[in-house]
Amino acid sequence: MRLLMLNGNTNAAMTDAMAARARAFLGAAVEVDAETAEQGVAYIGSRRDCALAGAAVVESLEARGAQDHAAVLLACFGEPGLAAAREISPVPVIGLLEASLLSALQLGARFSIVTPGRRWPRMIEDVLHDLGAARHCLGITPVEIGDLALPAEREAARERVQAAIDDQQARFSPEAIIVGGAAFAGLAAELAAPSGTRLIDSLDAGLAQSLALMRLTAD
C-alpha cells in the first residue's frame, strides 16, 4: 500500500521528520510518499495561513494526483483544504485534528488538547462543534514555540508542553490529552503521561487512521 502525505506547511525539514516517523510507525507494509507545500507559510498559525495553505494543498493534490495511493494524509493539525481535498481525491483523505479527536473519543469520554500557537484554540473549537465533540473537550492550551529544528527550542517546547499537560491534569483530570500539531510530531513519546491519562500524538493518530482506512478500502 502507498500513502501520500502532504504537509501544508512550507517547512521541508518538518516534512522529512514526519515522513521518517510515518515510515517507522507503518513499517514495511506501507510506502510513504511525502510532499511539502511549495507556497504558503512555514508554519500555519492563523485562519489566513490556513487559507493560503489550503490552496497550496489542493494545487499539489491536483498536480500529483492520488490514484496511485491508497490514502492521503494531510499532515497539518489545521487541516488546510481538507474538504476540497476530499472532494477531488479518489481515495480517503485524513486530517490530523479530526483523527486525533476521533481517537480521543474512542480512548476516553473527556479529553483536552495542547497545541502550538495562540490562535489555534478558536480554530479548533470550530472543528469540535462541527464534529459534535465540543462537550467532550475540557480545555485547549496553546503553547508558544520557536524553531523546533534547533535542539534548544525542541527542549524548551518539550518543557512547555509538559507544563501544559500537568496543568490540564490538575484542573481537568482528562482521560486523554491530544498533543497536536505537525511541529509537535513525536513529542508525546518524550513526555510523562499523568496517571490514568493517555497522550495522543496527532501524527500517530493520523497514521493509525490512515492505515485502518487503507485496509478497509483495499480491493
User: Per residue of the chain (219 residues), what is the pLDDT tens digit?
Assistant: 999 999 998 989 889 999 999 999 999 989 999 999 888 888 888 889 999 999 999 998 998 888 899 999 999 999 999 999 999 999 999 999 999 999 999 998 899 999 987 888 999 999 999 999 999 999 999 998 765 555 567 788 889 999 999 999 999 999 999 999 988 999 999 999 999 999 999 999 999 999 999 999 987
Q: Which residues contact 142 (CB under 8 A, 6 or more apart)?
A: 115, 116, 117, 118, 119, 120, 121
Identify the pLDDT of residue 109: 80
Are the C-beta atoms of 85 and 68 separated by less than 8 Å? no
**Do 8 and 56 touch, CB atoms closer than 8 A?**
yes
> In this predicted structure, what is the pLDDT of residue 71?
96
Q: Sort strands 198-201 and 137-143 into parallel, antiparallel or unpaired.
A: unpaired
- Residue among 178, 182, 187, 183 at smallest CA distance from 159: 187
For the chain, how big is the Rg over CA atoms in Å? 16
Q: At CA 19, angle to CA 191 and CA 48, rounded to 5?
A: 85
Give, in degrees to the nearest 5, the angle at Cα 92 between 90 and 97: 140
79 contacts 44 by C-beta, under 8 angstroms? no
Q: State residue 219's pLDDT score.
A: 74
Angle, nearest 10°, between helix axes 96-107 and 202-216?
A: 90
Strand intervals (E) in the chain:
2-7, 31-36, 71-74, 93-95, 111-116, 137-143, 176-179, 198-201
Query: Is there a contact between 6 and 60 (Cβ–Cβ < 8 Å)?
Result: yes
Q: Which pLDDT value is given to residue 148?
A: 56
Residue 149: its pLDDT value, please? 53
Give dist(CA 8, CA 79) in Å, integer.
8
Residue 115, beta-bridge partner list: 142
- Paired with 83 in beta bridges are none
